[in-house]
Amino acid sequence: MAAPSSYRIAGGTGACSPRGTCGSGGGTVAGRAGVRFALRSLVLGALFAALIAAGAFIRIPVFGIPYTLQTLFVVLAGLLLGANRGALAVGAYILAGLAGAPVFTNGGGLGYVFQPTFGYILGFFFGAYLTGRLAHTGARASFLRFFLAGLAGVTVLHVIGMAYFLIISNCYLHTGADVRYVLVYCLLPTFPADVFKCIAAAILAKRLYPAVKVYLDKTGDRPYH
Task: Tell whether 16 is covered by a domain.
Answer: no
Task: Look at residue 45 and tell me whether its pLDDT is greater than 90.
Answer: yes
185 secondary structure, DSSP code: I
Nearest 5 degrees, angle CA 221-CA 222-CA 225?
Answer: 130
Task: Tell whether 25 is covered by a domain.
Answer: no
Task: Tell whether 10 is covered by a domain.
Answer: no
Number of domains in the chain: 1
First to last CA, the chain: 49
Task: Using CA atoms of 54, 57, 61, 64 in order, give the dihedral in degrees to the nearest 10.
Answer: 150
* pLDDT value of residue 139: 67
Strands 5-9 and 59-62: unpaired
* pLDDT value of residue 141: 82
Q: What is the pLDDT of residues 136-183, one digit of tens each?
A: 886 688 999 999 999 999 999 999 999 999 999 999 999 989 999 999
- What is the spatial distance between Cα 134 and Cα 93, in angstroms, rounded to a whole number? 22
Task: Tell whether 29 is covered by a domain.
Answer: no
Task: Tell whether 30 is covered by a domain.
Answer: no
Q: What is the pLDDT of residues 98-144, one digit of tens each?
A: 999 999 999 999 999 999 999 999 999 999 999 999 998 866 889 99
Give the domain CATH number at 195: 1.10.1760.20
Task: Tell whether 42 is covered by a domain.
Answer: yes
* pLDDT value of residue 89: 97
Packing angle between helix 70-98 and helix 143-171, nearest 10 degrees? 50
* pLDDT value of residue 217: 78
Task: Tell whether 21 is covered by a domain.
Answer: no
| Range of the structural domain that residue 109 is part of | 38-217
- What is the spatial distance between Cα 155 and Cα 78, in angstroms, rounded to a whole number? 14
Task: Tell whether 161 is covered by a domain.
Answer: yes
Q: What is the pLDDT of residues 193-222, one digit of tens each?
A: 999 999 999 999 999 999 998 888 765 555
User: Mean pLDDT across the stretch 16-26?
Assistant: 46
